[in-house]
Amino acid sequence: MQKRILGNNGLEVSALGLGCMGMSFSYGPPKDQQEMVALLRSAVERGITFFDTAEIYGPFINEELVGEALAPLRDQVVIATKFGFNTEFDPRDPKEGQSMLNSRPENIRKAAEASLKRLRTDVIDLFYQHRVDPEVPIEDVAGTVKELIREGKVKHFGLSEAGVQTIRRAHAVQPVTALQSEYSLWWRRPEEEVLPTLEELGIGLVPYSPLGKGFLTGKIDESTTFDKNDFRNVVPRFTPEARKANQALVDLLGAIAEKKNATTAQIALAWLLAQKPWIVPIPGTTKLHRLDENIGATAVELTADDLREIDSAAAKITVHGARYPEKLEQITGR
């Protein structure tokens, strides 16, 4: 597995990471714990060193899973986790005046201590603010993480789904190692302002949902049904009508995949890897054969002509449907 560097402080990780959320959260019921422990350890055997989780995934159970699986291999891996959601917030029964977000310094510290215990480690390699909290100045957030770094509890500071002004303000207080944001062939907005800013400041990009929440694998069509607990049921981009309209993008990837003797998913990941040397996608999976397929993307070489062909064809395709329900869309890209 090739390696890449995130940020200017030398955080070296595998060119492809593993997003762990779906093992416990968001895509149906939690998967079998021991099967997922085995999958995580298999990922390390195959050269993946970068694992992504968050306290809100579950909440808590995903960090516990990652902690159990990786504790015996701790010196071989980089673990990223996140703070910034109010873990007591219940969207089904929100209490009056209660916010979904909480990046107050005391909550960041509390989250860090709890994550350290669940992850069975004495240091968090990369600690992201999960979403920008408009109630807390980003300088206070960055300053708190800076203190945690000084105390040896955190190694690197990250942001997730932050806008360019927030990135600049945070970076001025504590250098940001990585920004985690959605980025793929069906969500390219980061190219407008975010990518140039990251390049200027020397910050890595960690694209989540690099396979469009599964859609860019070509395994989902307008007739696909999801588990009742699957988050995609409420995502506008996953209505049957939107899926039918968005099939054109999958067909494009499929045509390139055929020429390259690769899979549709591998082309989607290879396209991301070809954009910048400091981009490290974190596709998630719960299946070993999909993990192997994703890893195979690192061996797919897209030429400048291939990339031009993809860009030219993609420019003619309009992606239908918002990427989040309205309430969640409001807390992204600040």
SS3 assignment for the chain: CCEEEECCCCEEEECCCEECHHHCCCECCCCCHHHHHHHHHHHHHCCCCEEECCCCCCCCHHHHHHHHHHHHHHHHCEEEEEECECCCCCCCCCCCCCCCECCCHHHHHHHHHHHHHHCCCCCEEEEEECCCCCCCCHHHHHHHHHHHHHCCCEEEEEEECCCHHHHHHHHHHCCEEEEEEECECCECHHHCCHHHHHHHHCCEEEEECCCHHHHHHCCCCCCCCCCCCEHHHHCHHHCHHHHHHHHHHHHHHHHHHHHHCCCHHHHHHHHHHHHCCCECCCCECCCHHHHHHHHHHHHCCCCHHHHHHHHHHHCCCCCCCCCCCHHHHCCCCC
pTM value is 0.96
Mean pLDDT on 250-271: 97
Asked if 57 is an active-site residue, the reply is: yes
- In the set 57, 128, 183, 208, the catalytic residue is 57
pLDDT band for position 86 (cuts 50, 70, 90): very high
Tell whether the model's pLDDT for residue 235 goes beyond 90: yes
Residue 243 confidence (pLDDT) above 80? yes
Domains in the chain, please, with CATH?
3-329 (3.20.20.100)
* Average pLDDT of the residues in 41-70: 98
* Mean pLDDT, residues 256-278 taken together: 98
Q: What pLDDT shows up at residue 92?
A: 63
What percentage of the chain exceeds 90 in pLDDT? 93
Write the pLDDT tens digit of every residue in 152-211.
999 999 999 999 999 999 999 999 999 999 999 999 999 999 999 999 999 999 999 999
pLDDT higher at 98 or 82 = 82
